[in-house]
């Protein structure tokens, strides 16, 4: 039994077969093996969120996921959110609300926001959600967005604009879902 393993993942809707060092994280597989450098390495220890991607639809820190453990998984990175020339509504909202400065945490923020909007629509509570028995979906108030987006640090301090961008994208998703 060696220390490399063949792994097949579906990344941004394309099947990718890789022979990887067992030590390789999903983050390093994306950045160093697949040229998908949109996903950023901020801390490499699950403490900043810059590496956030969607794994089987759920947002996770790709720096703490061993790629070898993800055989068969579906991964969506920031590069996979937009199709052709059309930006994902969350990406567009980040531009419209000037929700970034240096841009380094931005792909992670955007993937995280996409995940957060789905989670809230699925009725998942957060620490900011009142304890009453929930109905259908959780409305993304500013307090909800702040709590749900807290796994993505932004040292430039663009949080205020990130919250408004996510609020707009969430509202648009709600409208579209009606």
Partner 1 sequence: MKTFRYERPTDPAAAIALVAGDSGARYLGGGTNLVDLMKLGVETPELLVDVSRLPFGEVEETGGGGLRIGAAVRNSRLATHMLVRERYPALSQALLSGASAQLRNAATIGGNLLQRTRCLYFQDVSKPCNKRRPGSGCPAREGVHRDLAVLGASEHCIATSTSDLAVALAALDATVHLAGPAGTRSLPLTDLHRLPGDAPERDTVLRHGELITAVELPPPPRSARSAYRKVRDRASYAFALASVAAVLNVRDGAVHEVRLAFGGLAAKPWRANGAEEALQGRPATEDSFAAAVRTELTACRPLRDNGYKVALAERLAVAVLAQLAELD
Partner 2 sequence: MTTLESALGASTARLEGRAKVSGTARYAAEYASEGALYAWPVPAGIARGEVTAVHTDAAMADPAVLVVLTHDNAPRLRPVEDRTLALLQSPHVAHRGQYVALAVATSLEAARAAAAAVLVQYKADHHDVVLTEDHPGLYAPEEIDGLWPGTREHGDFGGAYAAAEIRTDAVYTIPPLHNHPMEPHAATAVWDGDALTVYDSNQGSTAVQHTLAQLFGIDAGQVRVVSEHVGGGFGSKGTPRPNVVLAAMAARAVDRPVKLAVPRNHMPAVVGHRAPTIQRIRIGAGSDGRIRALAHEVVTCTSTVGHFVEPAALPSRMMYTAPNSRTSHRVTRLDIPAPSWMRAPGECPGMFALESAIDELADICGLDPVELRIRNDTEVEPDSGLPFSSRHLVECLQEGARRFGWHERDRRPGIRREGRLLIGSGVASSMYPVIIFPSCAAAHADPDGQYRVRVNATDIGTGARTVLAQIAADALAAPLGRVHISIGSSDLPEAPLAGGSSGTASWGWAVHNACAQVRELVERSGGSVPAGGLSASADTTEDIKSGQEYARCAFGAQFAEVQVDTDTGEVRVRRLTGVFAAGRILNPRTARSQFIGAMTMGLSMALMEASTMDPEFGDHAERDFASYHVAACADLPAIEAHWIGEEDPHLNPMGSKGIGEIGIVGTAAAIANAVHHATGVRVRTLPIRPDALLPHFAHFA
Give the range of 54-62, 117-125, 132-140, 148-156 binding partner 2 by CB under 8 A. 148-156
Three-state SS for 74-97 is EEECHHHCCECCECCHHHHHHHHC
Contact 109, 156 (CB under 8 A): no
For partner 2 (CB under 8 A), the number of binding residues is: 61
β pairing state of 74-76 and 4-11? parallel
Question: Residue 64 binds which one of partner 1, partner 2, none, with CB within 5 to 8 A depending on kind?
Answer: partner 1
Q: In the complex, what is the shortest distance from the CB of residue 28 to partner 2, in angstroms, rounded to a whole number?
A: 6
Binding of residue 51 to partner 2 (CB under 8 A): no
Residues that bind partner 1 (CB under 8 A): 1-3, 5, 21-23, 25, 44-46, 49, 52, 55, 58-61, 64-66, 68-69, 71, 112, 115-116, 119, 122-127, 129, 131, 133-134, 146-148, 150-153
Q: In the complex, what is the shortest distance from the CB of residue 86 to partner 1, in angstroms, rounded to a whole number?
A: 26
Question: Residue 119 binds which one of partner 1, partner 2, none, with CB within 5 to 8 A depending on kind?
Answer: partner 1
Query: Read out DSSP for 117-174?
Result: HHHHHTT---TTS-SSPP-S-----HHHHHHHTTTS--TT--HHHHHHHHHHHHHHHH
Q: Round to whole Å and give the CA distance between 89 and 95.
A: 10
Q: In the complex, what is the shortest distance from the CB of residue 9 to partner 2, in angstroms, rounded to a whole number?
A: 18
């Amino acid at each position: 039994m060696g220390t490399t393993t063949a792994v097949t993942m579906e990344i941004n809707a394309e099947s990718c077969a890789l022979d990887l060092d067992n030590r390789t994280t999903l983050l390093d597989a994306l950045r160093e093996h697949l040229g998908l450098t949109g996903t950023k390495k901020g801390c490499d220890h699950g403490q900043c969120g810059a590496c956030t991607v969607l794994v089987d639809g759920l947002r996770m820190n790709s720096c703490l996921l061993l790629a070898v453990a993800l055989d068969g998984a579906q991964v969506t990175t920031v590069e996979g959110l937009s199709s052709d020339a059309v930006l994902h509504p969350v990406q567009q909202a980040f531009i419209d609300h000037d929700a970034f400065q240096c841009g380094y945490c931005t792909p992670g923020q955007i993937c995280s926001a996409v995940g957060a909007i789905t989670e809230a629509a699925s009725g998942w509570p957060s620490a900011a959600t009142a304890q009453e028995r929930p109905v259908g979906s959780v409305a993304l108030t500013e307090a909800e967005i702040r709590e749900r987006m807290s796994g993505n640090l932004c040292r430039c301090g663009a949080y205020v604009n990130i919250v408004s961008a996510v609020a707009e994208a969430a509202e648009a998703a709600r409208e579209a879902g009606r």
